[in-house]
Structure 1
Amino acid sequence: MEAMLNEAVLATWGRSVEYRPREGEPCTVRGVFEAAYAEPSGYGVSVASAAPRLLTALAELPSKPGRHDEVVVDGTTYAVAHPEPDGHGWVTLHLEVIDE
């Protein structure tokens, strides 16, 4: 069931990006890229962030994501600052711009 839901989300909102693991070959993966976002703080308000992130299914990635892996979106290269798996087959890659 989760695999079907993950596929539906990627098919609807996903886009192709280049993923460059620190070890291994670069590849194309699908994910939902957000240049800025808001998330609940736990205190009844949302906290906005200008930090970009990529949400993707772990199955899209060639290996477990790690700090300093890279993602290229629209010609901009980002470093993975913090990978955050959700326990349900998805991972949020918190990103930092390394070139513009």
Structure 2
Amino acid sequence: MKHFKKKLPMGRKTRKAFAAYVTFVLCMTLGAATALATSDPIAVVNNLSNFIFGLIRAVGMIMLGFGIVQVGLSLKSHDPSQRANGFLTLAGGVVITFAKEILTLITG
């Protein structure tokens, strides 16, 4: 149980801002995506697809925000390995956030 006692190296204001950011992203994503059933099976599949990609976009935006926080903390502490991890998290968040657009660009 000692592993769970670690605290994030963020101040009180940063934690509150990050929590507000996560809450905002989840509210915007989950509140906007509604999967309504119709008699057309293609419409049902499209609604489900939009809902799932909305969830994926929420995870991507959370990763994007966490990557920004990591890069900011690494610039403050001058830690190159943390900076590299922050930029990787940032890039992963961008890719996950725009996954649907990337897939439609690839498939045509």
Larger fraction in helix: 2
Is TM more than 0.5 here? no
Larger fraction in strand: 1
- Normalised by the length of structure 1, the TM-score is 0.29
- Normalised by the length of structure 2, the TM-score is 0.27
